[in-house]
């Protein structure tokens, strides 16, 4: 038996407390940047395992385990939940609610599986702490708050992350997905898109609805912008290049007989290439400014970016090294090349703060039989609840075991003897 396999001897035993912990976190979800209970539990666990623990960025927690000479590996899990009212009917379903300003009471749910990320990274941290004879180097287990709002990684970086923890050689992260449980997806290059939200205000001249000749109609202006924006991807982006431009909200006016003096458009952009992103943004600005000029708008439009997620693009060498280790541990049939997803993440801000390579992979969480049946019937989109759905319910077994092993195996690819 190789030393790296030795590390997993006690896995079954660890999984007992990990399952309990997972269900406890699932029952007690906390919204982005308010993960106080969760952070407390993580601190307590890591300290118990023998890690040096510190709080970074409010509810961020980092545990460091120094174990002699060798590489330093940083592994990250995100910890926050979503304002979603759980509808899974699970015995351990969340009944937590919060008062959301303006929109009344809403449920809170771990609808993105971050509870699984926490339970599995803590499991890997324990396995490595218990078998220090099987590896050498430094292991940094990082628990990041506020992924869903793209705030948490930046909060940790702004709080001095790079100066407070040992400089890693590589950073690792994973995400549970609505794919077949046990299957692990890796890929070099882009795996998640850059995401930008953009608020645009265009200005008209308000008037009575019966006197359009005295107005610059901001509703008509916004409508022509929405139509023209459809050409950014269809006519200006090279076929085969990836870009999404969605107008998710268009707000103007209050009453049928008032022509409003302004309109607001909320856009969501997704891209894999910085060059494409720059071009898409330039095209949007050109179109909006051009339509405003054509309408006789009395004032330049306003552009405000918010909720911005960086591109997640995996380092080729790190991905190759981790993929080889995963294929050796799980068998090559359990590891496949993942297609890039259109979702976004803020994880890459952490390796960026250190200037180090990273790799990010996916772990399936749907019972194999259920998933295969849906694939056979061509009903994956309807039958398999995806992340952020109120029905999202990863199968604890084998997902927790696989996600624990992936973190430990990937770390040992750098730390193993």
Positions in the binding site for Zn ion (CB under 5 A): 112
Q: Which residues contact 348 (CB under 8 A, 6 or more apart)?
A: 153, 310, 311, 312, 313, 358, 360
Beta 137-144 vs 72-78: how paired, if at all? parallel
Q: Residue 112 Cβ, how far from Zn ion at the closest point, in Å?
A: 3
Residue whose CB is less far from Zn ion, 112 or 413: 112
Q: Residue 323 Cβ, how far from Zn ion at the closest point, in Å?
A: 21
Q: Shortest CA distance to 269 belongs to which of 253, 282, 259, 257? A: 282
Residue whose CB is less far from Zn ion, 178 or 416: 178
Residue whose CB is less far from Zn ion, 112 or 335: 112
Residue whose CB is less far from Zn ion, 112 or 222: 112
Q: Residue 137 Cβ, how far from Zn ion at the closest point, in Å?
A: 28
Q: Residue 63 Cβ, how far from Zn ion at the closest point, in Å?
A: 21
Which residue of the chain is nearest Zn ion when measured via CB? 112
Q: Residue 69 Cβ, how far from Zn ion at the closest point, in Å?
A: 35
Question: Is 302 strand, coil or helix?
Answer: strand
Q: Residue 394 Cβ, how far from Zn ion at the closest point, in Å?
A: 12
Catalogue the E-assigned strands of 235-357: 243-252, 258-259, 262-271, 302-309, 312-314, 335-337
Residue whose CB is less far from Zn ion, 9 or 306: 306
DSSP 255-282: STTEE-SEEEEEEEEEES-HHHHHHHHH
403 vs 192: CA distance, rounded Å? 19
Is the distance from CB of 398 to CB of 182 less than 8 angstroms?
A: yes
Is the distance from CB of 65 to CB of 50 less than 8 angstroms?
A: yes
Q: Which pair of structure tokens corresponds to residue 372? A: 């295969």
Residue whose CB is less far from Zn ion, 67 or 365: 365
């Amino acid at each position: 038996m190789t030393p790296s396999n030795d590390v997993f001897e006690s896995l079954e035993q660890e999984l007992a407390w990990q399952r309990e912990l997972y269900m406890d976190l699932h029952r007690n979800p906390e919204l982005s940047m308010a993960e106080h209970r969760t952070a407390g539990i993580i601190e307590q666990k890591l300290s118990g395992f023998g890690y040096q623990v510190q709080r970074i960025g409010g509810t961020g927690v980092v545990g460091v385990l120094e174990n002699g000479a060798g590489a330093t590996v940083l592994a990250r899990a995100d910890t926050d939940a979503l304002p979603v009212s759980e509808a899974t009917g699970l015995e351990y379903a969340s009944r937590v609610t919060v008062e959301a300003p303006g929109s009344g009471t809403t449920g809170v749910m771990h609808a993105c599986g971050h509870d699984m990320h926490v339970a599995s990274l803590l499991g890997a941290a324990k396995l490595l702490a218990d078998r220090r004879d099987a590896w050498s180097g430094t292991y940094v287990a990082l628990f990041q708050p506020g992924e869903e709002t793209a705030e948490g990684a930046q909060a940790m970086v702004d709080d001095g992350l790079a100066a407070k923890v040992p400089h890693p050689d590589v950073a690792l992260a994973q995400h549970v997905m609505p794919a077949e449980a046990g299957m692990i997806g890796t890929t070099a290059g882009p795996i998640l898109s850059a995401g930008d939200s953009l608020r645009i205000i265009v200005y008209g001249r308000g008037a009575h609805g019966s006197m359009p000749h005295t107005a610059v109609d901001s509703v008509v202006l916004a409508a022509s912008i929405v139509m023209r924006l459809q050409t950014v991807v269809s006519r200006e982006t090279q076929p085969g290049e990836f870009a999404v431009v969605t107008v998710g909200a268009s707000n103007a006016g209050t009453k049928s007989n008032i022509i409003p003096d302004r309109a607001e458009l909320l856009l969501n952009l997704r891209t894999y290439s910085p060059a494409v992103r720059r071009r898409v943004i330039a095209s949007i600005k050109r179109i909006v400014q051009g339509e405003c000029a054509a309408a006789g708008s009395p004032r330049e439009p306003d552009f405000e970016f918010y909720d911005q997620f960086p591109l997640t693009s995996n380092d080729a060498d790190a991905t190759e090294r981790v993929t080889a280790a995963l294929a050796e541990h799980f068998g090559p049939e359990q590891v496949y090349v993942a297609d890039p997803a259109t979702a976004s993440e803020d994880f890459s801000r952490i390796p960026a703060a250190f200037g180090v390579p990273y790799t990010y992979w996916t772990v399936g969480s749907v019972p194999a039989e259920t998933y295969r049946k849906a694939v056979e019937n061509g009903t994956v989109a309807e039958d398999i609840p995806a992340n952020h759905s109120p029905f999202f319910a990863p199968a604890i077994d084998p997902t927790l075991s696989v996600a624990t092993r992936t973190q430990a195996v990937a770390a040992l690819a750098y730390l193993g003897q």
